[in-house]
Structure 1
């Protein structure tokens, strides 16, 4: 079977060439009657068993307005069927919209393909986390003496920690300053010391004289 399409002034022809046994003139006349739009078709006239091919083709041709004929001989020895479709049943091809241009593919330094990132709505952006609240508030007190005695930590040129020495703190509290004595008080103390010394010497001399006698 061979099917060709040919444009004609009144429309388009579909030409079907069959390579079968063909039909005699009586069969062609009967087929033409079934394919005619004015044909009155009954099931009993379709034979036993009924042959619905030409009858259904004639009904469709009458409903939609095209014509079918099988009165020609195919160059292959069979039957040539011609279907004439008028211009009223033809339509033009609707142009398809152009496909959107795709974004160029990008690759990173390692040759891996990178997918374009979609812009995230503002509602997806996470709000900054609040500052943590300490479990125990810091006590409002002065630093003790031990904290004041800690050395200040610095770093050397190599980045190592370096401890700075501070002056040692004496554990014994300093003595209270002695009051300054006046000259009269000093002279009075020296006079009393001399008188006591002289009295001691006189007592010793008297005792020794008594023992000699």
Structure 2
């Protein structure tokens, strides 16, 4: 009896255990189904959310692009309008400088033997600097340079550039040259050399020399400018070469509160007219060596008149005697219209002869500063011609 009861108890327990296992299995399967369904729903929700995020990102990128385009267009409009205002102002200043040059020419013709000549030349020098700055701003804003129809000696072009900087006495042109720049290259090369000379004078001591030489390298004619200032760092050289390459048009907003127009203007001129400028070299004094490299398309080997000398010789005339124009001997012309070099008939005074007097032909004594200014005056005859040509029939491009 006890055994039968025990067997029934064990059977009941086994049945309950089997029932529990079956129930747990069914429950587990149901939970698995629910879990898989939940995971599918979560994955579906994640996919939908991902698509929404991608759509939102796409709209954001599109909005940012549209915003950047609007900002860029607004900046370009502001840049163009600012350049237009500056170009008009610069042209007005150039016009005033040309008028002042004409007035100073007349005063020098009338009072050439008067002591006030020195002051007039100093005024002309200041006027030439103002005209150069205005011309550089005009070029940076898209304005044209002065138009020329005749070639010019590369020596005279450099002398013209020398006369457009403040400390022009420090510039020493070490040699002459029988190279003539073609008409289209005269104005851009003159402005380029003037900016490089001004840069050399600005970043060196007031008594430091600035040497200019001419070198022919293969088919290129090079104008080499050596200063005795502080050499540039590698970063400064790289930044300078980027500006001088002209590949990226300079923006007025990027010139700073104290804008430096020199290198951006040079870069534009070099790119427009096909010459190169390099400032990565070291000068003989340990400063910067700037090289203007002119390809053979911009110059020619033609005979040119000898350069004007430094000291004007003023001969006194009797009171009441009218000025008589001096007879000019005719000279031959080359195939390109340049005058041929003729034989010098009378010696031309040099700087060292400034204090000498000739009893047979009395002259006014010339002070050293006046001699230097007179040299500057003769060296800038070419620059005055450019100023005049800039306002005779020139039109904005």
State the TM bucket, normalised to the shorter chain. 0.3 to 0.5
Structure 1 or 2, whichever has the larger Rg, is 1
* TM-score, with structure 2 as normaliser: 0.24
Highest relative contact order (Cα 8 Å, sep 6+), 1 or 2?
Answer: 2
* TM-score, with structure 1 as normaliser: 0.43
The structure with more strand, counted as a fraction of residues: 1
